[in-house]
């Protein structure tokens, strides 16, 4: 009976979220996702990363994605039309982007995001701009 208990404890420790492992995201997947954050340049890059690694959306990986989203919305606003084309493909990606407009984004970027969403929004993207602006005001 004792060896079975030990096996159960080991399984529990491996599966325990406190250990840093996210359910559905292997250690290898998390390493690749983390490594690829610095390689993101476009919304299309983020979409591909999301499709491959959305289960790894936790900790440093989640913060890296928030940082990328914050920088894109603050400093590369002209690409918001590209974002619009991608968020209409899947509601899950849409929610992912909006969720990552969060407190980890620097305040100066959040202010720029709000201004961009309010003053520089293309006509075809109005609904998304409102969501982005609202999320940046949390």
Q: Is residue 18 part of a domain?
A: no
Count of domains for the chain: 1
pLDDT at 57 over 50: yes
The whole domain housing 80 covers 25-136
- Residue 98 belongs to some domain of the structure: yes
Task: Flag whether 54 is in a domain.
Answer: yes
In a domain, 4, yes or no: no
**109 lies in a domain?**
yes
Percent of the chain whose pLDDT exceeds 90: 82
Residue 138, pLDDT score? 78
Say which residue, 23 or 55, is predicted with more confidence: 55
Q: How does the average pLDDT of the chain come out, rounded?
A: 88
3-state secondary structure the chain: CHHHHHHHHHHHHHHCHHHCCECCECHHHHHHHHHHHCCCCCHHHHHHHHHHHHHHCCHHHHHHHHHHHHHHHHHCHHHHHHHHHHHCCCHHHHHHHHHCCCCCCCHHHHHHHHHHHHHCCCHHHHHHHHHHHHHHCC
Domain assignment present for 15:
no
Q: Determine, yes or no, domain membership for 69.
A: yes
**In this predicted model, what pLDDT tens digit does every residue of 61-90 receive, in sequence order?**
999 999 999 999 999 999 999 999 999 999
Residue-wise pLDDT tens digits, 17-49: 434 556 789 999 999 999 999 999 999 999 999
């Amino acid at each position: 009976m004792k060896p079975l208990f030990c096996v159960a404890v080991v399984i529990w420790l491996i599966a325990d979220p406190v250990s840093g492992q996210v359910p559905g995201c292997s250690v290898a997947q998390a390493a690749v996702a983390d490594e690829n954050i610095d390689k993101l340049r476009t919304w299309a890059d983020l979409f591909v990363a999301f499709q491959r690694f959305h289960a790894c959306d936790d900790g440093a990986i989640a913060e890296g994605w928030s940082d990328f989203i914050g920088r894109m919305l603050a400093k590369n606003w002209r690409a918001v039309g590209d974002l619009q084309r991608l968020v209409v493909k899947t509601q899950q990606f849409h929610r992912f982007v909006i969720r990552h407009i969060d407190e980890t984004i620097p305040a100066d970027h959040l202010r720029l995001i709000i201004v961009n969403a309010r003053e520089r929004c293309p006509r075809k993207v109005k609904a998304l701009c409102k969501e982005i602006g609202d999320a940046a005001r949390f």
